[in-house]
Amino acid sequence: MNFSDSIISALRAIMANKLRSALTMLGVVIGVGSVIAMIGIGEGTKQKSLENIQIMGSNMLTVFPNWRRGGVSGGPTDNPTLKDEDIVTLKRQVPMINTITGVVQRRMSARNGNKTHFTQVVGAEPQVALIRNATKMWQGSWYTGEDEAMSERKCVLGFTAYQELFGDEMAEGARIRIGNQNFDVVGVIAYKGGSGMWNPDDQIYVPLSTAKTRLMGKTNLDQIMMQTSNSDLMIVTQGQVEDALMATRKNASGEPLFRVMNQGDIIAQMETQTKLLSMLLAGIASVSLLVGGIGIMNIMLVSVTERTREIGLRKAIGARRETILAQFLLESTVMCVVGGTIGILLGLGSVAFVAQALKVPPVVNTQAIILAFGFSALVGLFFGLYPALRASSLQPIQALRYE
């Protein structure tokens, strides 16, 4: 029996028990599909997050408070170590800062009539529009420096926040309720195209002084954001910012209580975190492949038992041990390969569906497809080996006498 005959024989054996074969392959189908879907969705989410970071603004430096050695943040329960006087220090000592603002933020509910939307409320001075590249308006304009000085209850809506609260109605001049206070809407930022936690469209901006004293009750700053005058000298400017803050923002051991990050740092950190998350999800999905492999071994052992007399008859008329081994090994491998092929189609469909639901680009990762398909074939070989060895080692006389 040549290789092509063995393939045909394996396919006939699989088709003889269609339902059992389909249920056996189900674990492989789910495993391969899950690996492809998880990696593809992870890559799409990463691309969208990076796009969101890039459209947040250019030449931007951000100072985060309470940064400890090893890259571990102090966390939301710690009182932020950044203060208003740090902005004065940076303006005085770092000449390449083009514009700067302190930031406080909190996720809060906003309400317009019977519509409620939970979103990120950002307290910042009006120059945050320039820093975050949000000067293009859909309606109205930004609040002014005078509004900041007077702690006026005025706000600017991101486009998603506007749609959630107003739909297609006019928002400029309307009044919404943020937390337990009324705010006048003075403008709506033009659509930028974001999604997820980094969505620049799903935010509401209010004057910094208003947010600190009237809305959030914060005395310190959650961030300091600035735009540099020269993108080619970002690293130099970043070093000057660090030197300026080290004079007052360090602990008893001399370690800084802050971290300065540029866009490149944020993008690199996002890529690392997303890659680790994708690998974790793919590892979890791979468990389905192992479960599917165990199912295949179980069914192949049952098949050997059911076909004991057939094996004895074939050996009695001259079939070699290698031929029996190859046939049963091919059966398990073919089931895994067919299941892997169906799983690839399922995974690609899942990527397209979930990406559309999450509004992220559908990314087809060729390496993930090759890896998942190859792994499914190896699962068939590995878990089919023991049943195949058991079948090939049967003695003809004992097999023929088996009832």
Average pLDDT on 29-33 reads 84
- Higher-pLDDT residue of 47 and 341 is 341
Residue found by looking up tokens 């309470």 in the block: 66
pLDDT on residue 20: 78
If residue 142 lies in a helix (H) or strand (E), which one and from where to where?
A: none
Distance of CA 232 to the CA centre of its chain: 30
User: In the prediction, which pLDDT does 73 show?
Assistant: 46
Q: Does pTM surpass 0.75?
A: no
State how far the Cα of 384 lies from the Cα of 327, in Å rounded to an integer.
10
In sequence order, the 6+-apart residues with CB closer than 8 A to the CB of 202 are: 119, 120, 158, 160, 161, 194
253-285 pLDDT per residue, tens: 878 888 888 876 666 676 777 777 777 777 776
| 194 vs 402: CA distance, rounded Å | 68
